[in-house]
Amino acid sequence: MNASLTPRPVRRARIASLATYVPPKVLSNADLEKMVDTSDEWIRQRTGIRERHIVDPGVATSDLAAAASREAIARAGLTPSDIDFIVVGTTTPDMLFPSTACLLQAKLGADHAWGYDLLAACSGFTYALTTASQMVASGASRYALVVGADVMSSIIDYTDRTTCVLFGDGAGAVIVEASDGEAGMIDFLNYVDGHGGDALCMPAGGSLRPASKETIEGRLHYVKQDGQSVFRFAVRNTEDACRRLLERNGIDASHIDLFVSHQANQRIIRSAAEKLGIPDEKVVINIERFGNTTAGTIPLALNDAVDEGRLKAGDLLLVASVGAGFTVSAILMRWGLKA
Ligand code: ACO
């Protein structure tokens, strides 16, 4: 038999290391009170957010991605040359093209890697992790770098109180490699409901409405959203995706050690967790410090959980996200970083 036709054995992919980066500048609720008609009390009650980090002018998504990636590569005991595949989940690429993955490859000196960007909004990290895991499990990639990074402050209208209080900037990176034990991805359930596109979007700047005087005057290069319909969809589908994923793996929610959901709104996370029967002590919420960093929230939440000793080797982890599109993702994995 021709060796090239021999199927590669399917292995399990696991997260070998994790690192995050947020820019140092903090934008607090008190700062926003001076910019728009809002209050610290309203923001905390409705969203759980106290502050978020934002970049200085000239700092781009690839800069945040590079800072997180360098650390993740070092923590895995690797060098940039060991990376053979890069996926960057982002909604705010440095430019429409070339991809942020290409810019990141150059910044890191990851001279053996190919890669691309993946646009799934708030599900950017989970979709990228799912994709890279298939590459590793098939044997097509040995060390994949998966990044979730966004500079949301570059597309937020700081005169619109309904959106500007929600978002922050940040990045997280993981190395995905083949697992030699129980640790790793068990299953994932991702889907899209493209009918929800209008509920959360940036109307101009793409091929439909290229940048023009009219689009700029109409403030169409900023995030627009129907908050309530996004909220309802997020609660219903976070629960639905997780429930179906658990059911098809024969796992009861009580066996989940930690639930890490996209951090869009504390009320969305608590409501979904409650419907799933996951108690508060198993739910990670760090939105108060970072706001919604879009593709950055899941690695930022995982990182806090590890630092706080809440996520340990062998734990059964349920990850979920809902984002613009709409995109939905639920991932089940057995945690196990390199020692
Ligand atoms: N400060 C003070 N008042 C405000 C603010 C603000 N920042 N924003 C809105 N309001 C006002 C509204 O104008 C409204 O006033 P009115 O009653 O006089 O008309 C009132 O507060 C209530 O507004 P609602 O939109 O009903 O408030 P709600 O409780 O739905 O909260 C929110 C709004 C926080 C946006 C919520 O709908 C939400 O979180 N939606 C999910 C959106 C999201 O997170 N999207 C991002 C990514 S997608 C994803 O990650 C799932």
Pick from 33, 47, 265 the residue to mutate for probing ligand 1's pocket: most ligand atoms within 8 Å of its CB: 265
- Indicate if the pLDDT at residue 49 is higher than 90: yes
Told to judge if 102 belongs to the known catalytic residues of this protein, a careful annotator would answer no
Residue owning the nearest CA to atom 42 of ligand 1: 227
Q: pLDDT tens-digit profile of 195-229?
A: 999 999 999 999 999 999 999 999 999 999 999 99
Q: pLDDT tens-digit profile of 11-46?
A: 899 999 999 999 999 999 999 999 999 999 999 999
Which class for 228: exposed (0-12), middle (13-18), buried (19 or more C-beta within 10 A)?
Answer: exposed
CA atoms within 13 A on the CB side of 139: 7
- pLDDT at position 1 is 43
Any idea where the domains of the chain sit in the sequence? Answer: 3-180, 185-334
- Indicate if the pLDDT at residue 8 is higher than 70: no
Q: Which of 53, 102, 122, 265 is catalytic?
A: 122
- How far does the chain reach from its first CA to its final CA, in angstroms? 40
Q: Which CATH superfamily is domain 185-334 in?
A: Thiolase/Chalcone synthase (3.40.47.10)
Told to judge if 112 belongs to the known catalytic residues of this protein, a careful annotator would answer no
- Indicate if the pLDDT at residue 336 is higher than 50: yes
Told to judge if 122 belongs to the known catalytic residues of this protein, a careful annotator would answer yes
Q: pLDDT tens-digit profile of 57-82?
A: 999 999 999 999 999 999 999 999 99
- Indicate if the pLDDT at residue 56 is higher than 60: yes
Q: pLDDT tens-digit profile of 104-123?
A: 999 999 999 999 999 999 99
The reply to whether 185-334 shares the fold of 3-180 is yes
How much of the chain exceeds pLDDT 90, in percent?
A: 95
Pick from 43, 231, 238, 297 the residue to mutate for probing ligand 1's pocket: most ligand atoms within 8 Å of its CB: 231
Residue 172: both structure tokens together: 């997280």
How much of the chain exceeds pLDDT 70, in percent?
A: 96
- pLDDT at position 181 is 85
- Indicate if the pLDDT at residue 318 is higher than 60: yes
249 pLDDT band (50/70/90 cuts)? very high
Residue owning the nearest CA to atom 35 of ligand 1: 227
Ligand 1 pocket (Cβ < 6 Å) reads: 38, 42-43, 46-47, 122, 161-162, 165-166, 200, 225, 227-228, 230-231, 234, 262, 264-265, 292, 322-324
| 161 CA: nearest ligand 1 atom | 7
Which class for 142: exposed (0-12), middle (13-18), buried (19 or more C-beta within 10 A)?
Answer: middle
Which CATH number, 3.30.360.10, 3.40.47.10, 3.40.50.620, 3.40.50.2300, labels domain 3-180? Answer: 3.40.47.10
CA 227–ligand 1 middle distance (angstroms): 5
Q: pLDDT tens-digit profile of 131-155?
A: 999 999 999 999 999 999 999 999 9
Rounded mean pLDDT, 151-172: 98
Residue owning the nearest CA to atom 44 of ligand 1: 264
